[in-house]
């Protein structure tokens, strides 16, 4: 608190004066926050003095409050251009940004709590207050004043403020170019003029005091990764937080975000008890659409029922979370080998809203091969035909293309060719190309005919595309899994963490062996058998032989045919334990087996909480590889400050311990490695590993004493593992 007061006084934020007659001071309060290091340790305890801006009166204490911020499309265009041209990306953060804005209004604030003595004593009966000279956090005009001060400082260096996006500033001198994008106090800088970037950093540091965060990696919840092939943009951390907060981290993944042909209405179903939960979930999903166009349509439909959400709406929202569970790391990819040709796809779903019978507009725009802009929105008026709905969709797309052309011009990108616009409705294409007015088009608003003007000016060129190749279909309707996955792949989305996703398949009736028994049968090395077409009699004979061998193996291990045996129950409980089986651990296991045991058998575990294909039969040959792989991966995760990733790596190896007792030493090594190298004796890590130890000891007992003895020992042992699992 003393440091905060000292910084405010050093910045000349206020003057202590007696309160003038007729003036009323606004209050203030302290806000406390704990700052953590990447490894979870406490960095510092922070206190910030905040004004009670909600007590300000409009016209007296403030007038205008609007402050521009960078548009999400501008951020994507900036990253796309930087990827193609190979420009470096720098990130800056301004310290105490709002404290640098100059106030134009006469605002008085009461003295901070605990520091009344610093104001001294008043010579009359009037109380002492703070006359604010500069803006303070909490004031309604604080963000506006800060942006005005920053804009003035940047333009004095020769930067030009863009008219397409007022948060974008560009500097051009010959062949050298520098661009700066501002979002409140977060700044992105790119360009080919290294000297200009260095001068800009030095000036901002002198004026405001900045924190140079180096190369762009994390910006407004967007995770950025760069390689020679391009730049990836995703929100994996945010997606996992949404799943965790909603209690859906252990749900079964789905292939599509919405059921095919689903029509939601505002009057169907019962009202939910807590509408705030639905509104909070939809709000978080809306922010996730910044890098996830695949859920744009579903979120747009669900956001129309925020006033009175019902049970069908909540079920559909949870379906979106199930889809996100399967692809938490999916995002955009900005290719480095691309051009600057604008291409757009537009589509409409005629009378798609069952309540208002209004149509839905959907479009997506590419810069070269990179998706930079998309939209899914209900139209303002009812269309009399599908051609009219498509024509309105073309008009909305033309407006976005026009704005993007202006934005590219600010980036000094020449776009001499006409932008390509693809539509799957021939009637709408004819209306756009020919100046006809008849009973089907004369009622359309005049502004929609800008499509025709842009075509005549040579700015846009229209083409017809087949419906099955219409990429904008994913923004106007709920599609089936094959069509949806095909269009998503054509949009250029990339899952950096799991490029190939295997979705669970239900067990067939012919697979009579239970899950627990199948786990026992498949322990150990498994040879890959080449599949051939055989007669039915040979197949039946082979099934009988395998069943007989299975029965003999069960007798040797002391098993009976009853599915209710204690051994079967124990194995099923192990498989249903949610301590280990998360989607991250599943992908980690899959990565192990992709290199270590390509011929491992995949068995679907049909339990209540686990529906993923877990590989069995790793054998002892891959032990050394997994040991080296795990230690390297843990080191990389810890070096990047990802504690969760390190825990998932160790948890995945411990899953393998339960399934294959031959690598117990590997898991114990990883357990000691993480505890000794990274976390010391932190309580949460000790608790995390303590949950794994009973499973490790059970696996050791199974390997040395036999399964039945291990079960009996767990029932009576001091660890009470039986009670822990049950």
Domains and CATH numbers, the chain: 2-219 (no CATH), 252-331 (no CATH), 338-464 (3.30.420.10), 515-550+564-725 (no CATH)
- The lowest-confidence range among 175-189, 319-333, 511-525, 533-547 is 511-525
> Are the CB atoms for 232 and 331 separated by under 8 Å?
yes
- Using CA atoms, how far residue 94 sits from 6, 183, 212, in Å, is 18, 11, 9
DSSP type of residue 134:
B
Q: Which residues of 578-617 are buried (b: 16+ CB within 10 A; e: fewer)?
A: ebbbbbbbbbbbbbbbeebbeebbebbbbbeebbbbbbbb
In angstroms, the first-to-last Cα distance of the chain is: 50
Of 416, 396, 406, the C-alpha closest to 340 is 416
d(CA 544, CA 137): 76
According to DSSP, the β-strands at 168-173 and 42-51 are unpaired
Q: Which residue has the higher pLDDT, 690 or 75?
A: 75
* Cα 415 → chain centroid: 32
- The dihedral of CA 137, 142, 147, 148: what is its sign? negative
Strands (E), 137-229: 160-161, 168-173, 176-183, 186-191, 210-215, 218-219, 222-227
331 near 293, Cβ under 8 Å? no
Per residue in 504-517, is it b (16+ CB within 10 Å) or e — as a string? eeebeeeeebebbb
Q: Dump pLDDT digits (tens) for 84-121.
A: 999 999 999 888 888 888 888 889 999 888 776 555 55
Closest CA to 603 of 611, 592, 593: 611
Share of the chain above pLDDT 90, in %: 35
How many whole angstroms separate alpha carbon 242 and alpha carbon 238? Answer: 6
| Distance set, CA 594 to CA 562, 657, 665 (Å) | 35, 17, 21
Position 235 scores a pLDDT of 92
What pLDDT does 367 receive? Answer: 94
3-state DSSP assignment of residue 367: strand
**Is pLDDT larger for residue 545 or for residue 83?**
83
> In which residue are the tokens 């124990």 written?
570
Strands 160-161 and 14-18, bridge-based pairing: unpaired
Q: Is residue 158's pLDDT more than 50?
A: yes
Classify the C-alpha dihedral 505-509-511-514 as positive or negative.
Answer: positive
Using 50, 70 and 90 to split pLDDT, how confident is the model at 538? low
In a 13 Å sphere around the CA of 206, the CA atoms on its Cβ side amount to 7
Read off the pLDDT of each residue in 172-193 and give the average, rounded to a whole number. 90
| Contact (Cβ atoms closer than 8 angstroms) between residue 656 and residue 627 | no
Pairing of strands 330-335, 342-349: unpaired
Percent over 70 (pLDDT), the chain: 65
Give CA–CA dist 616/592, Å, rounded: 12
The pLDDT value recorded for residue 249 is: 87
Average pLDDT over residues 602-622: 31
User: How is residue 296 written in tokens?
Assistant: 């744009």
Cα–Cα distance, 205 to 94 (Å, whole number): 8
Look-up: residue for tokens 């790596």?
649
Contact 119, 18 (CB under 8 A): no
**Contact 111/119 with Cβ under 8 angstroms?**
yes
pLDDT digits (tens, 9 = 90+) for 3-29: 888 878 888 888 888 888 888 899 999
Per the CB < 8 A criterion, the answer to whether 565 and 559 are in contact is yes
The top-scoring range by mean pLDDT among 40-49, 114-123, 266-275, 702-711 is 266-275
Tokens linked to 648: 């998932």
Integer Cα distance of 271 and 263 in angstroms:
17
Contacts for 41 with CB less than 8 Å, ≥ 6 apart? none
Higher pLDDT, 261 or 345: 345
- Cα gap 399→451, rounded to integer Å: 9
What tokens were used for 673? 């490695």
Q: Express each pLDDT in 295-342 by its tens digit.
A: 999 999 999 999 999 999 999 999 999 999 988 989 999 999 989 999
Q: What are phi and psi of 627, to 5 degrees?
A: -60, -45
b or e along 662-681 (b: 16 or more beta carbons within 10 Å of the residue's beta carbon)? Answer: bbbebbbbbbebbbeebbee
Alpha-carbon gap, residue 288 to 300, rounded angstroms: 12
248 within 8 A of 325, measured Cβ to Cβ: yes
Q: For the segment 249-259, what is each residue's pLDDT rounded down to a tens digit? A: 888 899 999 99
Are 67 and 144 in contact by the 8 Å Cβ rule? The answer is yes
Return the closest-CA partner of residue 203 out of 189, 217, 191: 189
Which residues face 344 on adjacent strands? Answer: 365, 421
Rounded CA gap, 260 and 473, in Å? 13
Return the higher-pLDDT residue of 229 and 123.
Answer: 229
Distance CA 699, CA 710 (A): 9
- Report whether pLDDT(77) > 90: yes
Task: Express each pLDDT in 620-655 by its tens digit.
Answer: 434 455 555 566 666 666 666 666 666 666 655 555
Positive or negative, the Cα torsion across 647, 650, 656, 660? negative
pLDDT for residue 119 = 53
Q: What angle do CA 633, 228, 598 make, to 5 degrees?
A: 45
Q: Of 504, 503, 507, which Cα lies nearest the Cα of 515?
A: 507
Cα 171–Cα 172–Cα 176 angle in degrees, nearest 5: 115
DSSP secondary-structure letter at 121? -
Residues near 573 by Cβ (< 8 Å), separated by ≥ 6? 725, 726
699 phi and psi angles, rounded to 5 deg = -65, -40
| Helix axes 583-596 and 623-639, enclosed angle (nearest 10) | 130
Residues composing the chain: 726
In the numeric block, which tokens belong to residue 138? 């909490």
Q: What pairing do the DSSP bridges indicate for beta strands 222-227 and 230-234?
A: antiparallel
Residue 377 burial (C-beta neighbours within 10 Å; 0-12, 13-18, 19+): middle
* Out of 207-211, 408-412, 525-529, 530-534, least confident range: 525-529
């Amino acid at each position: 608190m003393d440091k905060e007061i000292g910084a405010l006084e050093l910045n000349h934020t206020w003057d202590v004066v007696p309160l003038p007659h007729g003036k009323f001071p606004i209050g203030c309060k302290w806000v406390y926050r704990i700052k953590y290091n990447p490894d979870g340790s406490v960095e510092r305890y922070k206190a910030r003095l905040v004004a009670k801006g909600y007590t300000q009166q409009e016209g007296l204490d403030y007038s205008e409050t609007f402050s521009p911020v960078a548009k999400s499309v501008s951020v994507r265009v900036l990253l796309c251009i930087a990827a193609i041209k190979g420009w470096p990306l720098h990130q800056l953060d301004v310290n105490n940004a709002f404290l640098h804005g100059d106030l134009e209004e006469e605002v008085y604030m009461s003295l901070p709590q605990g520091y009344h003595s610093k104001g001294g004593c008043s010579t009359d009966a009037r109380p002492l207050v703070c006359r604010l000279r500069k803006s303070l956090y909490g004031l309604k005009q604080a963000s506006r004043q800060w942006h005005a001060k920053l804009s003035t400082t940047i333009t004095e260096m020769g930067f030009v403020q863009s008219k397409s996006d007022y948060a974008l500033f560009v500097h051009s001198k010959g062949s050298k170019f520098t661009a700066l994008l501002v979002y409140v106090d977060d700044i992105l800088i790119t360009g080919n003029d290294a000297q200009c970037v260095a001068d800009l950093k030095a000036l901002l540091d002198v004026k405001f005091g900045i924190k140079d965060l180096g190369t762009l990696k994390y910006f407004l919840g967007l995770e950025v990764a760069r390689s020679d092939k391009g730049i990836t943009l995703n929100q994996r951390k945010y997606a996992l937080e949404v799943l965790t907060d909603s209690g859906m981290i252990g749900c079964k993944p789905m292939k599509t975000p919405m059921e095919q042909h689903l029509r939601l209405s505002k009057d169907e179903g019962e009202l939910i008890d807590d509408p705030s939960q639905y509104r909070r979930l939809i709000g978080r999903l809306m922010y996730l659409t910044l890098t996830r166009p695949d859920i744009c349509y579903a979120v747009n439909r669900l956001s129309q029922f925020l006033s009175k959400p019902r049970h069908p709406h909540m079920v559909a929202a949870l379906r979106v979370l199930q889809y996100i569970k399967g692809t938490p790391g999916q995002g955009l990819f900005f290719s480095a080998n691309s051009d600057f040709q604008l291409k757009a796809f537009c589509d409409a779903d005629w009378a798609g809203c069952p309540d208002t019978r209004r149509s839905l507009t959907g479009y997506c725009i590419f810069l070269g091969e990179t998706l930079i802009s998309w939209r899914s929105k209900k139209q303002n008026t009812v269309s009399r035909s599908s051609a009219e709905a498509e024509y309105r969709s073309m008009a909305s797309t033309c407006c976005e293309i026009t704005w993007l052309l202006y934005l590219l011009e600010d980036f000094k990108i020449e776009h001499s060719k006409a932008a390509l616009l693809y539509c799957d409705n021939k009637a709408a294409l004819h209306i756009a190309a020919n100046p006809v007015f008849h009973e089907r088009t004369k009622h359309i608003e005049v502004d929609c005919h800008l499509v025709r003007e842009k075509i005549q000016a040579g700015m846009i060129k229209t083409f017809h595309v087949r419906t099955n190749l219409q990429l904008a279909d994913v923004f106007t309707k709920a599609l089936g899994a094959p069509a949806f996955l095909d269009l998503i792949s054509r949009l250029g989305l990339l899952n950096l963490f799991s490029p190939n996703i295997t979705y669970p398949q239900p067990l067939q009736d012919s697979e009579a062996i239970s899950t627990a028994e199948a786990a026992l049968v498949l322990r150990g090395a498994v040879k890959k058998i080449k599949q051939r077409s055989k007669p039915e009699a040979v197949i039946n004979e082979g099934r009988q032989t395998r069943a007989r061998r299975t029965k003999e193996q069960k007798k040797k291990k002391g098993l009976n045919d009853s599915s209710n045996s204690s051994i079967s129950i124990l194995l099923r409980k192990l498989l249903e334990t949610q301590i280990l089986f998360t989607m991250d651990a599943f992908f980690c296991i899959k990565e192990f087996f992709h290199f270590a045991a390509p011929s491992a058998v995949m068995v679907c575990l049909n339990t209540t909480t686990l529906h993923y294909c877990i590989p069995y039969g790793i054998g002892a040959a891959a032990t050394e590889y997994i040991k080296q792989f795990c230690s390297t991966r843990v080191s990389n995760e810890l070096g990047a400050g990802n504690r969760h990733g390190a825990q998932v790596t160790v948890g995945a190896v411990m899953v393998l311990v339960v399934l294959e007792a031959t690598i117990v030493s590997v898991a114990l090594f990883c357990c000691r490695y993480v505890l000794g190298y990274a976390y010391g004796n932190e309580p949460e890590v000790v608790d995390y590993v303590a949950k794994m130890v009973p499973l490790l000891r059970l696996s050791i007992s199974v390997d040395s004493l036999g399964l039945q003895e291990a079960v009996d020992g767990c029932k009576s042992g001091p660890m009470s593992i039986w009670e822990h699992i049950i």
